[in-house]
Amino acid sequence: MSDFLTSNNICAQNLLRLVSRGNAIIAELMRLKDYVPSVFSLDSKPIVQKYGSIIIDFIYFKSVSTYEQKIESDPILQETDEELRNNFSDIISRFYLAFESVHKYITDLNLYVDELGDGIYIHQSIDTIMLNEEGRQLMCEAVYLYGVMLLLVDYHFEGCIRERLLVSYYRYNAQRSSSTRVDDVCMLLRSTGFSKISNKRPANYPEDYFKRVSLNDSLIEHIIGRLRSDEIYNQSLAFPHPEHRSTALSNQASMLVIILSFKPIMLHTHTAIMREIVDRFFPDNWVISIYMGIVINLCDWWLPYKAARTALNNTLESSNVKVIAQNYGQKMKKLISETEEVQLAVTLDESAIGSLVKLVRECNVTLHWILLHTAVSTISLEDSKRSRMLKQLIITESKYNISHCLQLLLSTAQIEQSVKHLYKQLLFGKETKWLRDKETCVERITDLAQIFGGNKSLDGIERNQNLHAWFLEIKFHQLENNLHISQYLADTREILHNMLRTGNITEDTMISLNIVTDCCYAWNIMESFIDTMQASIKENPPTVIKLKALFLKMASALETPLLRVNQARSADLSSVSQYYSRELEKYARRVLQIIPETVFGLLAEIVYLETNAFKEIPTKLPKDKLKDYAQLDDRLKMAKLTYAVSVFTKGVLSLRSVPLGVLRVDSHRLLEDGIRQELVKKVTLALDSGLIFEPKSKISLLQKLHNLAAIIDGYRKSFQYIQDYININSLKIWHEEITYIINNAVEEECIGSSWISEKSWRYFQEEKHVSISDNNITTFIGRLARELLRITDPRTTIYIEHSLAWYDLKTQTEVLNYKIFSKTLEAIGTPGLTGLDKLISFYIITELNSMIHYIEKNIRNKMWSSIIDHFDTILNSVDGPKGNVSKFHSSITTQTSKFCPQLLEWILKIGHYQLLKKKIAYELNTACKFEAKHMEAALQTLNIAILFEINKQNNNEQNEIEKKELLRELNIRLDWAGISNPHNNIYIKSPNINNIALIMFLLTILQLPKLYYCKNTGSLLSKRPQDPLDAVIFVIGILTILRQCTFSAMTRYVKYLCIYILSCVTSDSVKAGSEGESEISNILHILELFTKYSATSRNYNYSHFIKHHARPRVIRGFKPEYISTAYGFGKRQNIIDMPKINKNERILSILLRYFPQGIPIEWLLQQIKTNPTFAIKLTQVLMNERTDFMSMMDRSNSERITWLY
């Protein structure tokens, strides 16, 4: 047997590698089954409407050009197709590789069989391999694994979905598909018509499916013959009792059932052969596990086959089933009591190890039958009435109870682990124990000889030379009359028995024990016990100790799929073992998750006491009120709840470290992860339920945030309270999980707001927790953001800078103020406010991209291009629009009115978002200064230092990666601390639009008639509520858009504003009446707002005024220092008294001193030219009329400014 698998036997090694690959392929298929993109199922109307023309099944191959032409002719389909390609091509390739590996496997198997027939392998043929025990096993497994692969592919990947995946791979990977076997794979894995949802068996299924790539017919017959007659795994050694024969042959029976599907004629017509098979393999069972807990019911599986069905009918007779069920029901009851007695003994007796092995064998045989015949079939081809009746009959006659079954399962697992541990110790110390017992026996016999020889004394024993001689000769005479000697000899006899038992300890017994305790048949069945296990833990927390033994028993099932992979020394060993170990770890976590759930159920009661029952104890407490604040009953209840929490956590911590396959799970980590997961669930539920907004709700946003803050604070305090009782760092966990909840919600919201319908390749990354919310429902952070945007919508509200609040345009009442952000911080914390900021940034990026795409698309239009060139020529001319301002303005209104509304909407949205971001940054920074002032100061200092270094413009490329990482990390911390100015942020790549400043200028000019200056608010307001415009938001939006471009765009925008202002205030171009004055006032305020929010110097604007005034003319009596003095750039001492000037000139002079950005140089020069003494009078007023200045600064006199403009 061992010679066959030697490394120099190429024939055996190739077959072993083939079987190893088969097990690896099955593991990959099992892994992929949970990651099928839902878009390929086309199970909803919106998905069908969007992807139905792109995600196509094999009908695509009938008319490839038609479908491709349809996609290419539709821009929307082209874009959607490209998105699918970018996001799903990787995962589609992985699915295809798995499908292709199935085809390659059967191709290689057929090639191997052909090579055997052609004599490629010297001295080897199918017959010689089938005569060898290892060769026979491998050849049977090779064919059997192929059948399992096909069934798993058809069960886990529905036919239509398989076809869509294959077609998508063909379309998206055309370059690589030519070198692969796409056509052959499609032929093998095309839809069979089977659906696990419908439970309807297609015609001739699965035999037609198995014939798509046929196997050698003589090989199949040879294998079936060997499986019928031989015992290829020799498991009868582990199950010597005749009643256990079907259990011993269960693995071989499963292989035979699968391989018979390759030869359906036997199932149909060979009655004698099928009778022989049933009598040998299925005399008392008809439900089998074909591979790692994949259960099938032969009552349904063989229903279409006459010979097989007839042979199985004897077993399925109701009377026979009734007797078998009663027998196993009685055995289970008996074994439960026997296992309990063994567990009560605490320690195992070495002398009873043989009986314990028998008990373990009996328990496993009983569980094997009970679990399989009460389980739901995994692959159910036909859910027949007869199979349902048989299952109900078994449950009734065996008096099956899932709790009793679990009890036996746990007890058996615990005894198994104890017996295995004891047997390993005995096997390891076998030689030492044998020698020790041998020496003890020799010493005892020698001592007896010495006693009777008189050399040693023993009470009541006289010297007797004859007995002395007899003991030396090992000859015994009548010694039973002496109690001391009899006891001495009995002890010696027991030691000799122990030596015999030690001599019988062999590795064969350990191997048999591993075979008996194998539970791979229950790999999927154990899912049905989760609820019962959790109920048991909840009722009795120490039950967790027994679960450790059960997890170890399940881990032993990994040996079955890994055996051949390990023997072949395959590179797939790590991948396969990781998959099954991860699955087992997930199962253990699901079972034990009841402990964190129960803890948080108790924590909810603690939260209630913390938030509603307990009074806050003041710093100084009068004695007479001590009893009122004691609240003894409530504190006793708190103590009981705390004790219950500690009991549950102690139960899971008692597991210590549990090996699960190749993984080792630490109980403390298991508890912490469970608590984290439950914390995420509870806090997410609180956030989701607390942040639901309805239009007609009477509860305000502030009230909702206040209520939510109380709930979250209660959770935080209670979680912090119990940390010492469950041995965790609650503060660290709290901050990490709150951050995770917010980040995940922001990510889900961003995905939901974009085209992507779900995660794509991200599936294969290990997920920390369950998804926060369904894809069809917006997250709490999205609802909060939308509610803030709705309340502060610039179409219905106006933002007033001086009061830091939003007012309703119609009622002029305050709807929201700056306090909303502090309340938001109180409710969802710094991570929540930062997450809200990130989400709003995403909205900004979306709007910016849409707007830039719109402009880039339309700027290529001839009409757009001609309009922009026309106005660019006017503004860049020497005189600009002077003398024709009215015509210039009407031209803007006429030519740009078509595209401006859409642009205006984007600008207002962007400005709205930016304003909220600014408020959030201020709130974060204020909180940081109070809560972590040293950190805030350190970040400020580091930021300034790094900016200083960057300004050095050091082009050294060394350590560039470290620099980028430092800037990234610093930027994250600055955002969290609110040390940032959103108005300066760059959100997108700089667009290639040369005239963006001109477009923004034209849009600005077009909005001027909508505004007027309000003296009560000191700001620009909309003239008509029906056509609202928030000047602050509008300016911030313009600024944000220009920030995304080069700095010259902002410069040109300011330049255009200055040119327009200068043109408006010339004597021959000012509009008549208050309308013209109002428009000039509006544009000046717009420029002031732009200067303020862009944080540019006013001198920067002055330079544009000076740069663009008319050419200097010689003015009599004019001195440059007058203008300098008027602008405040210089002072003159000892000014002599001047003649008194009139009131209007005094107002003008005050404006020149304190509002220099509003006075055009050209207009000033014109005044000086017409009035030579004006400069002297101006200087007089500036130096002496202080009282007039103070009155001008009063808001009540602000109408004078408007009048002057």
Structure confidence by residue, pLDDT tens digits, 188-204: 999 998 988 877 889 88
8 Å CB contact between 80 and 50: yes
What confidence tens digit (pLDDT) does each residue in 246-284 have?
Answer: 999 999 999 999 999 999 999 999 999 999 999 999 999
Supply the pLDDT for residue 1054.
85
What confidence tens digit (pLDDT) does each residue in 854-885 have?
Answer: 888 877 777 777 777 777 777 766 555 655 66
Supply the pLDDT for residue 1144.
44
Average pLDDT over residues 920-947: 90
**How is residue 11 written in tokens?**
């024939």
Name the band, by pLDDT with cuts 50, 70 and 90, for residue 357: confident
- Residue indicated by tokens 């007779």: 317
**How is residue 426 written in tokens?**
């005995």
Average pLDDT over residues 1182-1188: 43
| Cα 586 to Cα 551, 593, 662, 673, 1138, distances in angstroms | 11, 10, 14, 12, 93
Average pLDDT over residues 817-823: 89
Supply the pLDDT for residue 406.
92
Name the band, by pLDDT with cuts 50, 70 and 90, for residue 86: confident
Go through 401-422 and write b for each residue having 16 or more CB atoms within 10 A of its CB, e for each that does not: eeeebbbbbbbbbbbbbbbbeb
User: Is pLDDT at 484 greater than 70 in this prediction?
Assistant: no
User: Is pLDDT at 1198 greater than 50 in this prediction?
Assistant: no
Supply the pLDDT for residue 1143.
42
Name the band, by pLDDT with cuts 50, 70 and 90, for residue 755: very low
By mean pLDDT, which of 989-998, 1046-1055, 1195-1204 is the weakest?
1195-1204
> Could you tell me the end-to-end alpha-carbon distance of the chain, in angstroms, rounded to an integer?
107
Bridge-based pairing state of the strands 294-297 and 287-291:
antiparallel
User: Is pLDDT at 289 greater than 90 in this prediction?
Assistant: yes
Query: Mean pLDDT over all residues of the chain?
Result: 80
**How is residue 686 written in tokens?**
């609180």
Supply the pLDDT for residue 711.
87
What confidence tens digit (pLDDT) does each residue in 299-312 have?
Answer: 999 999 999 999 99
What confidence tens digit (pLDDT) does each residue in 141-159 have?
Answer: 999 999 999 999 999 999 9
3-state secondary structure of 860: coil
CB atoms within 10 A of CB 1013: 20
User: Is pLDDT at 36 greater than 50 in this prediction?
Assistant: yes
Average pLDDT over residues 166-179: 76
By mean pLDDT, which of 665-669, 747-751, 882-886, 1116-1120 is the weakest?
1116-1120
By mean pLDDT, which of 107-111, 388-392, 626-630 is the weakest?
626-630
Supply the pLDDT for residue 951.
76
What share of the chain in percent tops pLDDT 90? 30
Chain CA centroid to CA 661, Å: 24
Q: For 551-595, what is the HEC assignment? A: HHHHHHHHHHHHHHHHHCCCCCHHHHHHHHHHHHHHHHHHHHCHH
In angstroms, the CA 623 to CA 859 distance is: 81
DSSP string, 901-950: HHHHHHHHHHHHHHHHHHHHHHHHHHHHHHH-HHHHHHHHHHHHHHHHHH
8 Å CB contact between 375 and 529: no
Q: What angle do CA 208, 214, 216 make, to 5 degrees?
A: 135
In angstroms, the CA 427 to CA 765 distance is: 43
Supply the pLDDT for residue 469.
64
Average pLDDT over residues 427-438: 71
Supply the pLDDT for residue 609.
81
DSSP string, 364-417: HHHHHHHHHHTSPPSS-S---HHHHHHHHHHHHHTT--HHHHHHHHHHHHHHHH
Higher per-residue pLDDT: 347 or 533: 533
Where does residue 1095 fall: left (phi above 0), alpha (psi -120 to 50 degrees), or beta otherwise? left
In angstroms, the CA 464 to CA 624 distance is: 94
* Nearest of 722, 863, 708, 704 to residue 787 by alpha carbon: 704
In angstroms, the CA 681 to CA 326 distance is: 45
CA atoms 397, 403, 407, 413: torsion sign: positive
Supply the pLDDT for residue 1113.
34
Higher per-residue pLDDT: 722 or 1153: 722
Supply the pLDDT for residue 1176.
55
Burial class (CB in 10 A: 0-12, 13-18, 19+), 107: middle
User: Is pLDDT at 1136 greater than 70 in this prediction?
Assistant: no
CB atoms within 10 A of CB 585: 19
Average pLDDT over residues 147-176: 89
**How is residue 1016 written in tokens?**
């009560």
What confidence tens digit (pLDDT) does each residue in 445-482 have?
Answer: 777 676 666 566 555 455 666 666 655 555 455 555 55
What confidence tens digit (pLDDT) does each residue in 38-58 have?
Answer: 889 888 888 888 888 899 999
What confidence tens digit (pLDDT) does each residue in 984-1032 have?
Answer: 888 888 888 888 888 888 888 888 888 888 888 888 888 887 888 888 9
Higher per-residue pLDDT: 889 or 794: 794
* Segments in 1118-1171 forming alpha helices (H): 1120-1127, 1143-1154, 1161-1170
3-state secondary structure of 13: helix
3-state secondary structure of 121: coil
pTM of the model: 0.77
Average pLDDT over residues 339-351: 76
Name the band, by pLDDT with cuts 50, 70 and 90, for residue 368: very high
Name the band, by pLDDT with cuts 50, 70 and 90, for residue 1184: very low
Average pLDDT over residues 953-980: 80
Q: For 346-374, what is the HEC assignment? A: CCCCHHHHHHHHHHHHHHHHHHHHHHHHC
Under DSSP, the state recorded for 698 is: S
**How is residue 527 written in tokens?**
């899912």
Average pLDDT over residues 559-583: 91
* Segments in 1026-1130 forming alpha helices (H): 1031-1043, 1047-1064, 1073-1094, 1098-1107, 1120-1127
